[in-house]
Amino acid sequence: MDHKKKKNIQAVVITGMSGSGKSTALRAFEDLGYYCVDNLPIALFPDFLSLSENSSEIPRKIALVMDVREKGFLDQYASIFSQVKEMGFHLEVLFLDANDNVLVQRFSQTRRKHPLQKNRDILSAIKEERFRTRGLREFADNYIDTSNKNVHELRQIVLNMYSSRDDLTKPLIHVISFGFKYGVPPDANLVFDVRFLPNPYFEPELRPKSGLDEPVFRYVLEKEETRTFLNHLEGLFGYLVPRYYSEGKVYLVIGIGCTGGRHRSVAIARWLGDMFTSRGEEVIVSHRDLSKEG
Given pLDDT bands bounded at 50, 70 and 90, which one contains residue 136? very high
CA 70 – CA 244 distance, rounded (Å): 32
- Sign of the Cα torsion 48, 53, 58, 61 reads positive
Q: Which residue has the higher pLDDT, 58 or 220?
A: 220
Tally of CB atoms within 10 A around 281: 17
Whether the predicted pLDDT of 29 surpasses 50: yes
Whether the predicted pLDDT of 59 surpasses 80: no
Run of H or E residues at 283: strand 282-287
Given pLDDT bands bounded at 50, 70 and 90, which one contains residue 293? low
Query: How far from 273 is each of 140, 175, 217, CA to CA, in Å?
Result: 25, 7, 13
Nearest to 281 by CA among 178, 197, 171: 171
How high does pLDDT run on average in the chain? Answer: 90
- The residues, any chain, with a CB within 8 Å of residue 256's CB and separated by 6 or more, are 175, 176, 177, 178, 191, 192, 194, 265, 268, 269, 272
What are φ and ψ of residue 7, in 5° steps? -90, 165
Run of H or E residues at 62: strand 61-65
Question: Which residue stretches of the chain are H helix?
Answer: 22-31, 45-53, 73-86, 100-110, 122-132, 134-139, 151-162, 214-221, 224-246, 264-278
Average pLDDT (239-264) is: 89
Residue percentage of the chain with pLDDT more than 90: 66
The helix/strand/coil state of 15 is strand
Whether the predicted pLDDT of 1 surpasses 60: no
Least confident of 44-58, 88-102, 220-234, 270-284: 44-58
Whether the predicted pLDDT of 165 surpasses 80: no
Q: Edge-to-edge strands of the sheet including 251-258?
A: 190-193, 251-258, 172-179, 282-287
End-to-end alpha carbon distance in the chain: 60
Domain spans, the chain: 10-168, 173-292
Q: Helix and strand tally (H, E) in the chain? A: 10, 9
CATH 3.30.420.10 fits 10-168, yes or no: no
CA 259 – CA 293 distance, rounded (Å): 11
pTM score: 0.71
Nearest to 181 by CA among 239, 263, 61, 79: 263
Whether the predicted pLDDT of 156 surpasses 80: yes
- How do beta strands 172-179 and 190-193 pair? unpaired
What one-letter code names the amino acid at 261?
Answer: G
Average pLDDT (53-65) is: 85
Whether the predicted pLDDT of 171 surpasses 90: no
